[in-house]
Structure 1
Amino acid sequence: MRKILITLLCFIAINSFAQSSKDKQAILDVLEKQRQEWNKGDVEAYMQGYAKSDSLLFVGKSGPTYGWQKTLDNYKRGYPDKSAMGFLTFGIKKVDFLTKDVAFVLGSWNVRREKDELKGFFTLLLKKINGQWKVVVDHSS
Protein backbone atom coordinates (compact mmCIF):
# COMPACT_ATOMS: atom_id res chain seq x y z
CA MET A 1 0.00 0.00 0.00
CA ARG A 2 2.81 2.39 0.87
CA LYS A 3 4.49 1.82 -2.54
CA ILE A 4 1.23 2.56 -4.30
CA LEU A 5 0.79 5.79 -2.34
CA ILE A 6 4.36 6.93 -3.05
CA THR A 7 3.97 6.07 -6.74
CA LEU A 8 0.68 7.95 -6.89
CA LEU A 9 2.17 11.03 -5.20
CA CYS A 10 5.15 11.00 -7.59
CA PHE A 11 2.78 10.72 -10.56
CA ILE A 12 0.72 13.67 -9.30
CA ALA A 13 3.85 15.77 -8.68
CA ILE A 14 5.25 15.02 -12.15
CA ASN A 15 1.94 15.85 -13.83
CA SER A 16 1.63 19.08 -11.84
CA PHE A 17 5.10 20.16 -12.89
CA ALA A 18 4.45 19.24 -16.53
CA GLN A 19 1.21 21.23 -16.48
CA SER A 20 2.89 24.25 -14.86
CA SER A 21 5.79 24.11 -17.29
CA LYS A 22 3.44 23.88 -20.27
CA ASP A 23 1.23 26.65 -18.90
CA LYS A 24 4.23 28.86 -18.11
CA GLN A 25 5.37 28.56 -21.72
CA ALA A 26 1.82 29.32 -22.91
CA ILE A 27 1.82 32.49 -20.79
CA LEU A 28 5.22 33.54 -22.12
CA ASP A 29 3.89 32.90 -25.64
CA VAL A 30 0.92 35.23 -25.00
CA LEU A 31 3.29 37.98 -23.87
CA GLU A 32 5.64 37.41 -26.80
CA LYS A 33 2.72 37.56 -29.25
CA GLN A 34 1.62 40.84 -27.66
CA ARG A 35 5.14 42.23 -27.98
CA GLN A 36 5.32 41.27 -31.65
CA GLU A 37 1.92 42.80 -32.43
CA TRP A 38 2.85 46.01 -30.61
CA ASN A 39 6.05 46.26 -32.62
CA LYS A 40 4.01 45.88 -35.84
CA GLY A 41 1.92 48.86 -34.71
CA ASP A 42 -1.24 46.74 -34.31
CA VAL A 43 -2.86 47.71 -31.00
CA GLU A 44 -6.00 45.66 -31.67
CA ALA A 45 -3.93 42.50 -32.22
CA TYR A 46 -1.93 43.36 -29.09
CA MET A 47 -5.20 43.51 -27.13
CA GLN A 48 -6.00 39.89 -28.02
CA GLY A 49 -3.79 38.91 -25.08
CA TYR A 50 -6.35 40.49 -22.75
CA ALA A 51 -9.65 38.95 -21.66
CA LYS A 52 -12.33 40.56 -23.81
CA SER A 53 -14.48 41.44 -20.83
CA ASP A 54 -16.01 44.42 -19.07
CA SER A 55 -14.27 43.21 -15.91
CA LEU A 56 -10.76 43.52 -17.37
CA LEU A 57 -8.83 45.85 -15.06
CA PHE A 58 -5.96 48.00 -16.32
CA VAL A 59 -4.19 50.24 -13.82
CA GLY A 60 -1.78 52.82 -15.19
CA LYS A 61 -0.59 56.29 -14.30
CA SER A 62 -4.11 57.71 -14.76
CA GLY A 63 -5.66 55.18 -12.39
CA PRO A 64 -7.92 52.17 -13.00
CA THR A 65 -9.76 51.45 -16.23
CA TYR A 66 -12.36 48.71 -16.44
CA GLY A 67 -13.21 46.92 -19.64
CA TRP A 68 -11.49 45.64 -22.75
CA GLN A 69 -12.91 48.31 -25.05
CA LYS A 70 -12.04 51.20 -22.72
CA THR A 71 -8.51 49.83 -22.35
CA LEU A 72 -8.19 49.60 -26.14
CA ASP A 73 -9.50 53.16 -26.52
CA ASN A 74 -6.92 54.41 -23.98
CA TYR A 75 -4.11 52.63 -25.82
CA LYS A 76 -5.24 54.15 -29.12
CA ARG A 77 -5.34 57.62 -27.56
CA GLY A 78 -1.93 57.27 -25.94
CA TYR A 79 -0.28 55.51 -28.88
CA PRO A 80 -2.07 56.77 -32.02
CA ASP A 81 0.42 55.39 -34.56
CA LYS A 82 3.40 53.09 -35.01
CA SER A 83 5.96 55.82 -34.30
CA ALA A 84 4.23 56.66 -30.99
CA MET A 85 4.21 52.94 -30.14
CA GLY A 86 7.95 52.60 -30.73
CA PHE A 87 9.73 49.28 -30.15
CA LEU A 88 8.61 47.27 -27.11
CA THR A 89 10.69 44.83 -25.10
CA PHE A 90 9.77 42.91 -21.96
CA GLY A 91 11.91 41.57 -19.15
CA ILE A 92 10.00 38.79 -17.43
CA LYS A 93 11.12 38.52 -13.80
CA LYS A 94 8.67 35.98 -12.39
CA VAL A 95 5.77 33.72 -13.34
CA ASP A 96 3.98 32.19 -10.34
CA PHE A 97 0.86 30.05 -10.37
CA LEU A 98 -1.68 31.03 -7.74
CA THR A 99 -3.98 28.20 -8.81
CA LYS A 100 -3.89 25.87 -11.80
CA ASP A 101 -5.88 28.46 -13.80
CA VAL A 102 -4.53 31.75 -12.40
CA ALA A 103 -0.99 33.08 -12.73
CA PHE A 104 0.91 36.14 -11.54
CA VAL A 105 3.57 37.72 -13.76
CA LEU A 106 6.09 40.38 -12.78
CA GLY A 107 8.13 42.08 -15.44
CA SER A 108 9.60 45.22 -16.89
CA TRP A 109 8.69 46.99 -20.12
CA ASN A 110 10.67 49.32 -22.33
CA VAL A 111 9.49 51.32 -25.35
CA ARG A 112 12.19 52.88 -27.50
CA ARG A 113 11.01 55.65 -29.80
CA GLU A 114 12.87 57.91 -32.17
CA LYS A 115 13.07 60.81 -29.72
CA ASP A 116 12.63 59.21 -26.31
CA GLU A 117 12.36 56.05 -24.26
CA LEU A 118 9.64 54.95 -21.86
CA LYS A 119 10.08 52.24 -19.28
CA GLY A 120 8.57 50.79 -16.19
CA PHE A 121 7.30 47.64 -14.52
CA PHE A 122 4.12 45.60 -14.68
CA THR A 123 2.27 43.02 -12.67
CA LEU A 124 -0.27 40.87 -14.44
CA LEU A 125 -2.89 38.37 -13.42
CA LEU A 126 -3.64 35.89 -16.14
CA LYS A 127 -6.50 33.45 -16.10
CA LYS A 128 -6.98 30.35 -18.21
CA ILE A 129 -10.29 30.97 -19.98
CA ASN A 130 -11.64 28.31 -22.34
CA GLY A 131 -8.18 26.77 -22.46
CA GLN A 132 -6.37 30.02 -23.30
CA TRP A 133 -4.36 32.26 -20.99
CA LYS A 134 -5.62 35.85 -20.95
CA VAL A 135 -4.61 38.92 -18.97
CA VAL A 136 -7.44 39.86 -16.59
CA VAL A 137 -5.53 42.46 -14.52
CA ASP A 138 -2.64 44.65 -15.71
CA HIS A 139 -0.92 47.15 -13.42
CA SER A 140 1.72 48.98 -15.41
CA SER A 141 3.79 51.87 -14.11
Structure 2
Amino acid sequence: MKYFVFITVFLFQQPLYAQHKDEQAIRQILTDQTTEWNKGNLEAFMKGYWKNDSLLFVGKTGPHYGFQTTLDNYHKGYPDTAAMGKLSFNIIQVKRLSPDYYFVLGKWMLKRSMGDLSGHYTLLFRKIAGQWKIVVDHSS
Protein backbone atom coordinates (compact mmCIF):
# COMPACT_ATOMS: atom_id res chain seq x y z
CA MET A 1 0.00 0.00 0.00
CA LYS A 2 2.85 2.35 0.83
CA TYR A 3 4.31 1.95 -2.69
CA PHE A 4 0.92 2.54 -4.28
CA VAL A 5 0.57 5.87 -2.45
CA PHE A 6 4.10 6.89 -3.44
CA ILE A 7 3.57 5.99 -7.10
CA THR A 8 0.19 7.73 -7.20
CA VAL A 9 1.60 10.92 -5.65
CA PHE A 10 4.62 10.80 -7.99
CA LEU A 11 2.46 10.39 -11.11
CA PHE A 12 0.09 13.21 -10.19
CA GLN A 13 2.91 15.62 -9.38
CA GLN A 14 4.67 15.25 -12.73
CA PRO A 15 2.33 17.44 -14.82
CA LEU A 16 2.39 20.13 -12.14
CA TYR A 17 6.17 20.14 -12.11
CA ALA A 18 6.32 20.34 -15.91
CA GLN A 19 3.99 23.33 -15.92
CA HIS A 20 5.99 25.00 -13.21
CA LYS A 21 9.22 24.41 -15.13
CA ASP A 22 7.72 25.94 -18.28
CA GLU A 23 6.42 28.94 -16.38
CA GLN A 24 9.86 29.43 -14.84
CA ALA A 25 11.43 29.36 -18.31
CA ILE A 26 8.98 31.99 -19.56
CA ARG A 27 9.57 34.21 -16.55
CA GLN A 28 13.33 33.85 -17.11
CA ILE A 29 12.94 35.04 -20.72
CA LEU A 30 11.20 38.18 -19.46
CA THR A 31 13.93 38.70 -16.85
CA ASP A 32 16.61 38.29 -19.53
CA GLN A 33 14.78 40.74 -21.79
CA THR A 34 14.68 43.31 -19.01
CA THR A 35 18.41 42.89 -18.39
CA GLU A 36 19.30 43.25 -22.07
CA TRP A 37 17.00 46.24 -22.59
CA ASN A 38 18.57 47.98 -19.61
CA LYS A 39 22.01 47.38 -21.15
CA GLY A 40 20.79 49.03 -24.38
CA ASN A 41 21.08 45.76 -26.32
CA LEU A 42 17.97 45.43 -28.50
CA GLU A 43 19.37 42.49 -30.46
CA ALA A 44 19.80 40.45 -27.26
CA PHE A 45 16.39 41.67 -26.02
CA MET A 46 14.84 40.18 -29.17
CA LYS A 47 16.16 36.67 -28.38
CA GLY A 48 12.87 36.07 -26.58
CA TYR A 49 10.94 36.53 -29.82
CA TRP A 50 10.26 34.01 -32.59
CA LYS A 51 12.73 34.76 -35.39
CA ASN A 52 10.15 34.40 -38.14
CA ASP A 53 8.20 36.53 -40.62
CA SER A 54 4.97 35.42 -38.91
CA LEU A 55 5.86 37.03 -35.56
CA LEU A 56 2.99 39.43 -34.78
CA PHE A 57 3.55 42.67 -32.87
CA VAL A 58 0.56 44.90 -32.16
CA GLY A 59 1.30 48.38 -30.84
CA LYS A 60 -0.22 51.85 -31.02
CA THR A 61 0.18 51.94 -34.83
CA GLY A 62 -1.54 48.60 -35.33
CA PRO A 63 -0.33 45.13 -36.28
CA HIS A 64 3.10 44.50 -37.79
CA TYR A 65 4.51 41.16 -38.89
CA GLY A 66 8.02 39.82 -38.81
CA PHE A 67 10.99 39.57 -36.52
CA GLN A 68 13.08 42.06 -38.49
CA THR A 69 10.21 44.54 -38.72
CA THR A 70 9.76 44.35 -34.96
CA LEU A 71 13.48 44.89 -34.34
CA ASP A 72 13.57 47.79 -36.82
CA ASN A 73 10.56 49.40 -35.11
CA TYR A 74 12.25 49.08 -31.72
CA HIS A 75 15.35 50.80 -33.15
CA LYS A 76 13.20 53.64 -34.56
CA GLY A 77 11.23 54.13 -31.38
CA TYR A 78 14.20 53.76 -29.04
CA PRO A 79 17.27 55.02 -30.94
CA ASP A 80 19.56 55.31 -27.90
CA THR A 81 19.83 54.36 -24.24
CA ALA A 82 18.28 57.67 -23.12
CA ALA A 83 15.14 56.90 -25.12
CA MET A 84 15.19 53.29 -23.90
CA GLY A 85 15.46 54.23 -20.25
CA LYS A 86 15.24 51.49 -17.65
CA LEU A 87 12.62 48.81 -18.23
CA SER A 88 10.71 46.86 -15.63
CA PHE A 89 7.92 44.34 -15.99
CA ASN A 90 5.12 43.60 -13.55
CA ILE A 91 3.78 40.18 -14.49
CA ILE A 92 0.08 39.99 -13.64
CA GLN A 93 -0.75 36.53 -14.97
CA VAL A 94 1.00 33.57 -16.58
CA LYS A 95 -1.52 31.04 -17.85
CA ARG A 96 -0.91 27.70 -19.52
CA LEU A 97 -3.20 27.28 -22.53
CA SER A 98 -1.82 23.94 -23.72
CA PRO A 99 1.49 22.05 -23.55
CA ASP A 100 2.83 24.32 -26.31
CA TYR A 101 1.24 27.69 -25.53
CA TYR A 102 1.28 30.14 -22.63
CA PHE A 103 -0.48 33.48 -22.23
CA VAL A 104 1.16 36.29 -20.26
CA LEU A 105 -0.47 39.52 -19.07
CA GLY A 106 1.57 42.28 -17.52
CA LYS A 107 2.51 45.90 -17.18
CA TRP A 108 5.68 47.49 -18.55
CA MET A 109 7.35 50.63 -17.20
CA LEU A 110 10.16 52.74 -18.60
CA LYS A 111 11.98 55.14 -16.26
CA ARG A 112 13.54 57.85 -18.43
CA SER A 113 15.08 61.28 -17.95
CA MET A 114 12.92 62.54 -20.85
CA GLY A 115 9.72 61.31 -19.20
CA ASP A 116 8.50 57.96 -17.99
CA LEU A 117 6.30 55.65 -20.06
CA SER A 118 4.14 52.71 -19.10
CA GLY A 119 1.48 50.43 -20.49
CA HIS A 120 0.20 46.90 -20.53
CA TYR A 121 1.08 43.89 -22.64
CA THR A 122 -0.22 40.50 -23.55
CA LEU A 123 2.14 37.87 -24.89
CA LEU A 124 1.52 34.53 -26.52
CA PHE A 125 4.42 32.14 -25.99
CA ARG A 126 4.80 29.03 -28.10
CA LYS A 127 7.21 26.16 -27.57
CA ILE A 128 9.20 25.86 -30.79
CA ALA A 129 11.96 23.26 -31.15
CA GLY A 130 11.96 22.85 -27.37
CA GLN A 131 12.31 26.58 -26.60
CA TRP A 132 9.70 29.11 -25.52
CA LYS A 133 9.36 32.06 -27.88
CA ILE A 134 7.04 35.06 -28.04
CA VAL A 135 4.93 34.63 -31.18
CA VAL A 136 2.44 37.45 -30.47
CA ASP A 137 3.11 40.67 -28.53
CA HIS A 138 0.35 43.23 -28.00
CA SER A 139 1.79 46.20 -26.12
CA SER A 140 0.00 49.46 -25.46
Give the equivalent residue in structure 2 for 1:97.
96
Give the equivalent residue in structure 1 for 2:23.
24
Q: Is the 8 A contact 2:110 2:117 kept in 1?
A: yes
Matches within 5 A, 1:95-134: 95-134=94-133
Decide whether aligned partners of structure 1 residues 99 and 8 sit closer, same or farther in structure 2, where only a CA change above 3 A counts.
farther
Percent pairwise identity = 53
Number of residue equivalences: 138
Question: Which amino acid counterpart does residue 97 of structure 2 have in structure 1?
Answer: L
Aligned-residue Cα RMSD (Å) equals: 1.6
2:85 equivalent to 1:86: yes
Q: Is the 8 A contact 2:83 2:114 kept in 1?
A: no
Q: CA offset at residue 13 of structure 1? A: 2.9
CA–CA distance in structure 2, aligned partners of residues 8 and 70 of structure 1: 50
Secondary structure, counterpart of 1:73 in structure 2: helix
CA–CA distance in structure 2, aligned partners of residues 83 and 13 of structure 1: 50
Extract unaligned runs of 5+ from structure 2: none
2:57 equivalent to 1:58: yes
User: Per-residue CA shift, 1:71-91, capped at 9, x if unaligned?
Assistant: 000000000011110000000
Secondary structure, counterpart of 1:114 in structure 2: coil
Question: Which amino acid counterpart does residue 35 of structure 1 have in structure 2?
Answer: T
Give the equivalent residue in structure 2 for 1:139.
138
CA–CA distance in structure 2, aligned partners of residues 74 and 37 of structure 1: 17
Q: CA offset at residue 101 of structure 1? A: 1.2
CA–CA distance in structure 1, aligned partners of residues 35 and 6 of structure 2: 43
Question: Which amino acid counterpart does residue 44 of structure 1 have in structure 2?
Answer: E
User: Per-residue CA shift, 1:21-61, capped at 9, x if unaligned?
Assistant: 00100000000000000000001110010000000000000
- TM-score norm. by structure 1 comes to 0.92
Runs of 4+ in 1 over 6 A off after TM superposition: 6-9
Q: CA offset at residue 7 of structure 1? A: 7.7
Extract unaligned runs of 5+ from structure 1: none
Give the equivalent residue in structure 2 for 1:70.
69
CA–CA distance in structure 1, aligned partners of residues 17 and 111 of structure 2: 36
